Structures are given as structure tokens and as C-alpha cells.
């Protein structure tokens, strides 16, 4: 779950990202929006983006005057706007959404720090402005479809369903141990269940009502609403007691089962699949390397490895189409995935990984750089839609 949400990459050409979401395989044409409805929604989105551009301009004015209070206020306002508009943008332009998210998320992180770095905010703000400009000027382009892309979507959907089935099983093992008050067994099962959730995280996060229930961290939601994996994680590793956790275990079972039902019915598109891979890598490179995701258990490397595996599953799904279009990029991605896997392997300990707190700043930086580079390379796969 993203740091700033309650429930990323270098500048590429505009044409690379102005590809639309392809119609889901076998979708009923009668359910498709009319041209008038589509135009109206597009206009609404553009107005929302324009509002964000005005807020960013106000933030820039604050930077010019070195008015820290104004910068912080406008940065928080920009985040609130993005949270209000992002669902529509993500559905309409998933790759452009992912690009904007890469800069808007760290910008918000910077303005909420105790010590605000105006120079850093200036640097991120320039890239955020570029991303918003792309969204403001985005136009729907004719989608390229092929049997290879259709098969990629079908193969990835199968992968997600298989991972979700394992998520249900491992979550049940975890919650059974919680209800039995077996802390050691629960700690072991927790790590196993987290793998399957992290592999399908982009899909899980698309269900805005379920993701906060399952994956919210402390302070992501109000105390009386906090539930899910991390609520029990805190009880296990910080509080040292499972007293009262049976209720949360029961709710987690229900929420994960509901997620499985939603995933069975979800209709994916090619661009959403690729954007999902970028989101996994971006979030890992930006927020998860901070160690905040698993702040009590410190199994962040388990999450990071699962994110990479989930992204690689997407890469393998689109590989036939990509190899036909750009074999050099395929080779580059093979190399980068292998390098990152080798780096993670250095930290293996038995069937799991060492505690994230044992890594040095240099080791964390290496992981972050490799994740960012891989995300940029995955972004280039958008060319297979053109």
C-alpha cells in the first residue's frame, strides 16, 4: 500500500504514454460508453488536471519566495486533489497516471517532513509539472490489438487468480494461528501470506474500499478503522500479545475472500497490465525502500522480492508481443530483472530474507536504483501498443 494513500521514471515522449486502455476481451459493446459520455468525462478530467496545475503554480510561487508555510499548504492541497481525481485518471490513462504518481507521491512526502527541503521540492515539482502537462494534453489514440496482447492479458489474469487463491490459503493459516494464540506460528504464516498479496498489489489497490481494510498501515487510516495485516503485525512484533486480535483475524478472512471474488470478475486491459508492473516497481523504489511498509516485522525484503516477482510475471506475459516489436528491449529487461534478483538473493536467509534493518544505506540505495531503472525500462514496453 502506498505511503500517502488511505486505502514513477524519467521523461519519455508524450506519444509513448497517450495510448488508451484496450477494450476487455469479450466485453459487451452495449456496455461501452457513448462518444458523448466519453468526451464529457475527458473534459471533466482535464478540468481536474487544470486545478492541480494551478495548485502547483501556487506552490512554485511559494518556492520562489521561500515561503515554507505556503509550500507545505499547497503541497498538501495538491495531494488531496490527486487523491480525489486519481481513480478517473488511472482508468482513462493508466500509463500517464503511473508517471504522475511517481512524482506526486514523493512531493507529498517532502512537504510532510519535519524538516522541509525546498530545493528537493523544487526538483520534484518540475517533474510533477511535466507529468501534469502531459495529462492536460493527453488525447485518446487508436489502440493496437493483437492475439499476443490478448493472450498477455489472459495469462496475467490467470496468474493473478492463482496468486489470490494462494493468498486466501496462506491468510487462513495466518488467522488460524492468531485465533489459536500461537504467536510463533502466526509470525511465520504472516510472511508467507504477505508474498501473495504483494505480487498482486496493483490489482488489489484498484479496489479502493478493500485495500485499506487489508493493507493499511498505522496512521494511514483512523485508529478505529485500522484493521488487516499490519494491525496484527503490530500486535505480534511490538505489543507481544494477540489479545483481542481474533476479531481482526475474522475480518481479514472476510476481506481477502471478498477480494478474491472481485478479482474473478475484474476485466483487465493491456495498458493496465503494464501500468501495474510500473506501479509495483515505482512504489517499491520510492516508498518501500524506506522500511515503513513492515515497520514492526521488518520483512520488507519479502515484500520487495514479491513486488519484483509480480512485475516479472507481467513482463513474461507481454514478452511474445515485446520480442516481436523490440527484441533489444526484451534482452535489456532480462538483464535488469536478473541483476535485481541477484541483488535480493544476497540477503536470503533460509526460505526468507534478513531483517531490513540490517541493510546499510548503500545497500538500500543500490536496491532503490535498480528498482527505478527497471521501472523506466518497463515503461518503454508501452510501444507494443502502438
| Digit-coded pLDDT (tens) for 234-267 | 999 999 999 999 999 999 999 999 999 999 998 8
pLDDT at 101 (0 to 100): 78
Decide if pLDDT at 83 tops 50.
Answer: yes
Q: What is the mean pLDDT of the chain?
A: 84
Rounded CA separation 376/148 (Å) = 23
- Of 39 and 315, more confident: 315
Decide if pLDDT at 140 tops 70.
Answer: no
Contacts of 365 (CB under 8 A, 6+ apart): none
In this structure, of 8-22, 123-137, 245-259, 290-304, the range with the lowest mean pLDDT score is 8-22
Count Cα atoms within 13 angstroms, Cβ side, for 58. Answer: 15
- Of 262 and 206, more confident: 262
Decide if pLDDT at 268 tops 70.
Answer: yes
Evaluated on CA atoms 303, 273, 325, 323, the torsion sign reads positive
Report the C-alpha dihedral over residues 234, 240, 246, 251, rounded to 10 degrees: 10
pLDDT at 270 (0 to 100): 81
- b/e for 10-23, b at 16 or more Cβ within 10 A? eebeeebbbbbbbe
Rounded CA separation 353/78 (Å) = 37
pTM comes to 0.71
User: Rounded mean pLDDT of 161-182?
Assistant: 98
Q: Would you list the domain boundaries of the chain?
A: 43-137, 147-385
pLDDT at 114 (0 to 100): 85
Say how many C-beta atoms besides its own lie within 10 A of residue 379's C-beta: 25
Rounded CA separation 82/49 (Å) = 9
pLDDT at 142 (0 to 100): 46
In this structure, of 186-195, 254-263, 287-296, the range with the lowest mean pLDDT score is 287-296
Decide if pLDDT at 175 tops 90.
Answer: yes
Q: How much is the CA Rg of the chain, to the nearest whole Å?
A: 21
pLDDT at 11 (0 to 100): 29
Rounded CA separation 218/9 (Å) = 28
Cross-strand partners of 353: 348
C-alpha cell at 335: 538483464
Please state, in angstroms and as integers, the Cα–Cα distance from residue 238 to each residue in 230, 231, 355, following that order: 11, 11, 15
DSSP codes of every residue in 291-356: T-TTTTT--HHHHHHHHHHHHHHHHHHHHHHHHHH-HHHHHHHHHHHHHHHHHHHTTEETTEE--G
Rounded CA separation 244/225 (Å) = 15
Rounded CA separation 215/167 (Å) = 13
Q: Terminal CA-to-CA distance of the chain, rounded, Å?
A: 31
- Are 308 and 284 spatial neighbours (Cβ–Cβ below 8 Å)? yes
User: Rounded mean pLDDT of 147-171?
Assistant: 92
43-137: CATH topology is: 1.20.120
Decide if pLDDT at 364 tops 50.
Answer: yes
In this structure, of 26-35, 123-132, 223-232, 235-244, the range with the lowest mean pLDDT score is 26-35
DSSP codes of every residue in 226-290: --SHHHHHHIIIII---TT-HHHHHHHHHHHHHHHHHHHH----HHHHHHHHHHHHHHHHHTGGG
Contacts of 63 (CB under 8 A, 6+ apart): 71, 118, 121, 122, 125
147-385: CATH topology is: A middle domain of Talin 1 (1.20.1420)
Confidence bin at 13 (pLDDT 50/70/90):
very low
Say how many C-beta atoms besides its own lie within 10 A of residue 264's C-beta: 11
pLDDT tens-place string over residues 86-135:
777 876 776 677 678 778 888 998 998 889 999 999 999 998 998 899 88
Identify the top-confidence range among 24-33, 35-44, 372-381.
372-381
Rounded CA separation 273/282 (Å) = 14
Amino acid at each position: 500500500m502506498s505511503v500517502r494513500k488511505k486505502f514513477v521514471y524519467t521523461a519519455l515522449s508524450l506519444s509513448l504514454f497517450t495510448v488508451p486502455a484496450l477494450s476487455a476481451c469479450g466485453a459487451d459493446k452495449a456496455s461501452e460508453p457513448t462518444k458523448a459520455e466519453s468526451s464529457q468525462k475527458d473534459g471533466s478530467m482535464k478540468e481536474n488536471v487544470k486545478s492541480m496545475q494551478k495548485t502547483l503554480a501556487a506552490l512554485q510561487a511559494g518556492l520562489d519566495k521561500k515561503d515554507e508555510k505556503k509550500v507545505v499548504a499547497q503541497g498538501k492541497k495538491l495531494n488531496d486533489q490527486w487523491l480525489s481525481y486519481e481513480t478517473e485518471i488511472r482508468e482513462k490513462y493508466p500509463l500517464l497516471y503511473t508517471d504522475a504518481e511517481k512524482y506526486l507521491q514523493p512531493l507529498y512526502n517532502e512537504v510532510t517532513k519535519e524538516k522541509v527541503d525546498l530545493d528537493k521540492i523544487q526538483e520534484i515539482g518540475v517533474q510533477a509539472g511535466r507529468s501534469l502537462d502531459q495529462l492536460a494534453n493527453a488525447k485518446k489514440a487508436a489502440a493496437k490489438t493483437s492475439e499476443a496482447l490478448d493472450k498477455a492479458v489472459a495469462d496475467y489474469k490467470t496468474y493473478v487468480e492463482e496468486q489470490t487463491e494462494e493468498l486466501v490459503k496462506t491468510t487462513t493459516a495466518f488467522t488460524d494461528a492468531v485465533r489459536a494464540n500461537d504467536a510463533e506460528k502466526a509470525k511465520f504464516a504472516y510472511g508467507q501470506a504477505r508474498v501473495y498479496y504483494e505480487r498482486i498489489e496493483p490489482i488489489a489497490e484498484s479496489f479502493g474500499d478493500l485495500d485499506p481494510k487489508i493493507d493499511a498501515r498505522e496512521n494511514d487510516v483512523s485508529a478505529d478503522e485500522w484493521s488487516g495485516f499490519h494491525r496484527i503485525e503490530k500486535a505480534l512484533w511490538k505489543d507481544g500479545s494477540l489479545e483481542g486480535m481474533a476479531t481482526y483475524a475474522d475480518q481479514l478472512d472476510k476481506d481477502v475472500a471478498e477480494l478474491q471474488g472481485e478479482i474473478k470478475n475484474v476485466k483487465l486491459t493491456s495498458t493496465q497490465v503494464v501500468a501495474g508492473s510500473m506501479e509495483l516497481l515505482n512504489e517499491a523504489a520510492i516508498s518501500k525502500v524506506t522500511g515503513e511498509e513492515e515497520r514492526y516485522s521488518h520483512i520488507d525484503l519479502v515484500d520487495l522480492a514479491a513486488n519484483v516477482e509480480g512485475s516479472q510475471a507481467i513482463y513474461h506475459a507481454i514478452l511474445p508481443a515485446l520480442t516481436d516489436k523490440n527484441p533489444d528491449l526484451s534482452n535489456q529487461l532480462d538483464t535488469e530483472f536478473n541483476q535485481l534478483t541477484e541483488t535480493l538473493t544476497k540477503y536470503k536467509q533460509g526460505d526468507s530474507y534478513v531483517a531490513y534493518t540490517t541493510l546499510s544505506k548503500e545497500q538500500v540505495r543500490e536496491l532503490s536504483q535498480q528498482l527505478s531503472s527497471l521501472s523506466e525500462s518497463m515503461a518503454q514496453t508501452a510501444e507494443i501498443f502502438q
